[in-house]
Structure 1
Amino acid sequence: MSAVGFDFRNERCVVAVAKHTGIVYIDEEQDFLGTNGSGTRKKYPESSISLIMRWIIGRPFSDPELQQYLKALPFSVTEGPDGFPLIHARYGEETRSFTSIEIMGMVFSNMKRLAENMSNAPVVDCCIGIPVYFTYLQRSAVLEAAKIVGLNPLRLMHETTATALAYGIYKTGLFEDVHRNVAFVDIGHASMQVCIANYKKGEMKILAHSFDRCLVGRGFDEVLYQHFAAKFKADYEIDVFQNAYAGIQLRDACEKLKEELRSNPEALLYIECLIDMNYVRCFIKRDEFKQISSSILERLKKPLEKALSEAKILLADIYAVEVVGSDSWLIRILTDYFGKKPRNTMNASECVSKGCALECAIFSPNFKVRDFQVNEILPFSIALQWKGFSSMQRYYGEKENLRSCIVFPIGNPIPSVKSHTFYVSGTFSLEVQYAYATEMQAPAEISTFTVKVAQIFKIGPFMSTKYVRPVIKVEVEVGLNLDGCVSVNSAKYPDHLKWGKWRLCVRV
């Protein structure tokens, strides 16, 4: 059996296989999937599916954020019968419709095959990297896609945590006799994520996570894209918004232009045969680029400040800053903020998959890995909501009220189990919600445990005898697993016929 780590980015995937001689990284090989598939993107944009992991999977079609993303996609996406996106593409001689989970399953299948070819062993156990801001629906969708192809995810691992593991596990001498705090800043194609980790010998503890789901390296590409699209329409009467092929060409050119502006005060954008054999060329200065992207630059500091605040440390307590991700244009801004130049010592393309493969090897009995403990935390607060009584109301015959409490606060260790006592009149619904939906930039509800949702749980019914009081005391055990998903493990109430005994509620 192999220990495998998967890193699914918006436009590329990396799989790392742990071997006894080290970590091996695998590039994609299959036509129309992975690197070779990107060659068909310009030729067949309407049938070249990408950007699934960050933009589409696990999101309801009505999600306003998804609706904004769909405007930039060259392929067709409509609402499915379950309220989630359906992706339409040419498959052979016909147009087929796929769910995002099915598309991700195809990618998992391809990467699993490559890993098996490289390791000459079956691949079942794996660890999958996900963005720290993924919701319950998104995490569940990734797990379902992996299980479709026979994979057994040992855990979902936050990308910045995987990066921190890959960074610290080999630096034994650096943390021998002292605690050190290291900040990891990932400004990638789809989001910005910040993590602060504390290291000591044989152990890593995550102090804080923060993120901005919409502050991205792609955002800088987008402002360039909008700038030149408007300029081409005015100067050349070319509308790239009406031509998928031209739009892809311009986006690729803007990405290269952005990198040129890192080291040059001025850069040239030149595209041959944009539309109808027309070529375009245009210069832009770095100062002009900063001006049109000023709103993005201002937002950069907020996740940094939030991470420091939640970690309860000062800037002076940061030993080092590591920049990872596909976009490292903001080195100067990070230098000004932290007061020290960020390092780029990690391979941005491999660090997440490497950390995931190492974590999978730590779990596996087939590998002997250096003792290294990873202490993860919850990046957002999770609350329970139900209709019931308070501990005092039950004595005075008052009506049930809608009540809530935070059961897993931000920074809560992962995994974790907690018990909570409820006073109810009978079968009741227990909703698990994000406590601060505005911070998550996502719908508040995670899932509902109720009679109406029989495929999950119901809490009740309770024993019906004359000895049962009008108000029932119910103890519910709520679990937070390694994947960051919440479940109701058990529910019980006192058996009034047998003193000191408890009855389990019916579970479906």
Structure 2
Amino acid sequence: MSVVGLDFGNENCVIAVAKERGIDVLLNDESKRETPAVVSFFEKQRFMGSEGAASLTMNPKSTVSQVKRFIGRKFKEVEFQNDLKLFPFEIVEGHDGGILIKVQYLGEIHEFSPVQILGMLFSHLKQIAEKSLEMPISDCVIGIPCYFTDLQRRAYLDAAAIAGLRPLRLLHDCTATALGYGIYKNDISDAGPTYVVFVDIGHCDTQVCLASFESGQMKILSHAFDRNLGGRDFDEVLFSYFAGQFKEKDGIDVCTNMKASIRLRASCEKLKKVLSANAEAPLNIECLMDEKDVRGFIKREEFEKLSSGLVESISVPCQKKKIHSVELVGSGSRIPAISRMLASLFKREPSRRINASECVARGCAIQCAMLSPIFRVREYQVQDSFPFSIGFSSDKVPICILPNSTLFPKRPGFPKS
């Protein structure tokens, strides 16, 4: 029996496993360290992970991605309604006001809940891990965003149960990153706590936490987040820019064609990565729409100008003081303008010593090893904080638990939680 850490991202998933000499990230069937969080349904079978992602262009209406955004949400939420335009598959409202995903599968129309889709993907990750390790697994720790509600956390546990997994804990993404950072750090000062800010810019969200480190222990002092700001918003800036160009110059409106939109968004994501290392980049797509080839070009300076509002928004959750270093992680963190903004905000250059894509899975695997009775891990105390209010009352004394797990007796006139 082995223990694993799972980072289930909006776009990709990472599996890490605890071994005697440390933490390893497992490879999937394509020998890649990241597995797309995609399920594609066909007439006779379904494809998950890399195979599912390869089917996105030719089978968009029955290929489900970004399911993490659906978990525990209501169909009529304003935030979710804003997301609907980004999904090529059909989404309908369930009888309880929740979300159902409608796809063509096995010759029939099926409606799946987000928890069912998530369970399929967890099962796929479990199969990858068992095939790689050549042994069964069940114990795991799963990384989740700090802003998840109780309903969303329970949905993750239900999906894990569908896959035959036994989560020992749901661990906040930034907490997992901080654990993987602190447990191996041997230069912690004895003069007092070392304060580190972790900025995690993912595909669709931004999470920030302030952690203090002392010898043999770490404590998360606070969490902050923007659940609707991530790397995909920068992709959308490029998409809108080039869609407008092609409409004016080539007379094609990609927004009216689902497959053309998918191809252009995928090209814009690649272009964003090129601009992270280069001052300018071209965009060339053959037969994008109406048998027309399109060409475009953009400079990094122009891209940064177009996305300046997004970069400024990232600074909002980062208002932290009294720090020693800043660690920048996440798939959307490679944009140079973000690094410059954080350097200006914190008066120090952000560090990239942590693997941006694997840090959460590695931290989850470490936590799983610490919780499992079959591993011996050196003593290391982890104190997390919860960024929401929790309230309860008894017959004798009303009590209110505030964020960061601070316990206070409720005084007369104290606002209800």
> So what's the TM-score if we normalise by structure 2?
0.89
Aligned-residue offset at 1:29: 3.3
Paired with 1:44 and 1:262, the residues of 2 have a C-alpha distance of 31
Question: CA contact under 8 A between 2:393 and 2:400: conserved in structure 1?
Answer: no
Q: How does 1:184-195 map to 2 (within 5 A)?
A: 184-195=198-209
Provide, for residues 330-365 of structure 1, a one-character-per-residue CA deviation record: whole Å limited to 9, x for no partner: 111111111111111111221111111110110111
1:114 matched to 2:122? The reply is no
Q: How does 1:72-471 map to 2 (within 5 A)?
A: 72-175=86-189, 178-305=192-319, 308=320, 314=321, 317-327=322-332, 328-329=334-335, 330-383=338-391, 407-412=400-405, 435=417
Provide, for residues 243-276 of structure 1, a one-character-per-residue CA deviation record: whole Å limited to 9, x for no partner: 2211111111111222222333332221111113
| Structure 2 gap segments, 5+ residues each | 31-45
Question: CA contact under 8 A between 2:188 and 2:213: conserved in structure 1?
Answer: no
Residue of structure 1 in register with 2:36 after alignment:
none
Paired with 1:47 and 1:29, the residues of 2 have a C-alpha distance of 23
Aligned-residue offset at 1:381: 2.1
Residue of structure 2 in register with 1:23 after alignment:
23
Secondary structure (helix, strand or coil) at the match of 1:318 reads: coil
Paired with 2:273 and 2:316, the residues of 1 have a C-alpha distance of 24
Residue of structure 2 in register with 1:2 after alignment:
2
Residue of structure 2 in register with 1:35 after alignment:
50
Question: CA contact under 8 A between 2:119 and 2:159: conserved in structure 1?
Answer: yes
Across the two proteins, how many residue pairs are aligned to each other? Answer: 397
Q: Higher relative contact order by CA 8 Å / sep ≥ 6: 1 or 2? A: 2
- What amino acid does structure 2 have at the position aligned with 1:283? F
| Structure 1 gap segments, 5+ residues each | 309-313, 392-404, 423-432, 436-508
Aligned-residue offset at 1:173: 3.3
Paired with 1:259 and 1:8, the residues of 2 have a C-alpha distance of 22
Provide, for residues 347-406 of structure 1, a one-character-per-residue CA deviation record: whole Å limited to 9, x for no partner: 1221111111110110111000111111001112234599x9x99xxxxxxxxxxxxx87
- What amino acid does structure 2 have at the position aligned with 1:356? C
Question: CA contact under 8 A between 2:27 and 2:132: conserved in structure 1?
Answer: no
1:47 matched to 2:52? The reply is no
Question: CA contact under 8 A between 1:191 and 1:211: conserved in structure 2?
Answer: yes
Paired with 2:53 and 2:190, the residues of 1 have a C-alpha distance of 45
- What amino acid does structure 1 have at the position aligned with 2:127? R
> So what's the TM-score if we normalise by structure 1?
0.74
Paired with 2:6 and 2:393, the residues of 1 have a C-alpha distance of 35
Query: Larger deviation: 136-145 or 100-109?
Result: 136-145
Question: CA contact under 8 A between 1:177 and 1:200: conserved in structure 2?
Answer: no
Question: CA contact under 8 A between 1:382 and 1:434: conserved in structure 2?
Answer: no
Paired with 2:52 and 2:378, the residues of 1 have a C-alpha distance of 38
Aligned residues with identical type, % of pairs: 46
Structure ranking higher in helix proportion: 2
Paired with 1:258 and 1:73, the residues of 2 have a C-alpha distance of 20
- Say if 1:367 and 1:289 are closer, same or farther in 2 by CA, change over 3 A: same
Secondary structure (helix, strand or coil) at the match of 2:16 reads: strand
Larger Rg: 1
Paired with 2:192 and 2:121, the residues of 1 have a C-alpha distance of 43
Aligned-residue offset at 1:73: 0.4
Question: CA contact under 8 A between 1:12 and 1:35: conserved in structure 2?
Answer: no
- What amino acid does structure 1 have at the position aligned with 2:184? Y
Residue of structure 2 in register with 1:504 after alignment:
none
- What amino acid does structure 1 have at the position aligned with 2:282? L
Paired with 2:51 and 2:288, the residues of 1 have a C-alpha distance of 23
Paired with 1:147 and 1:419, the residues of 2 have a C-alpha distance of 37
Paired with 1:348 and 1:95, the residues of 2 have a C-alpha distance of 39
